[in-house]
Amino acid sequence: MWILLTVCLMSAPDSCREERISWSMDTRDSMACLLHAQETIAQWQSTHRQWKIRNWRCVTKRDLPTDI
Q: What is the pLDDT of residue 55?
A: 96
Domain count, the chain: 1
The reply to whether 68 falls in a domain is no
Model pLDDT for residues 26-51, shown as the tens digit of each residue: 556 778 888 888 999 999 999 999 99
The reply to whether 26 falls in a domain is yes
- Please say whether the beta carbons of 12 and 52 come within 8 A: no
- The domain of 13 spans 2-61
The reply to whether 67 falls in a domain is no
* pLDDT reading at 61 higher than 90: no
> What pTM, to 2 d.p., does this model score?
0.80
Least confident window among 5-9, 50-54, 56-60: 56-60
The reply to whether 56 falls in a domain is yes
Picking from 17, 18, 23, the residue whose alpha carbon sits closest to that of residue 3 is 23
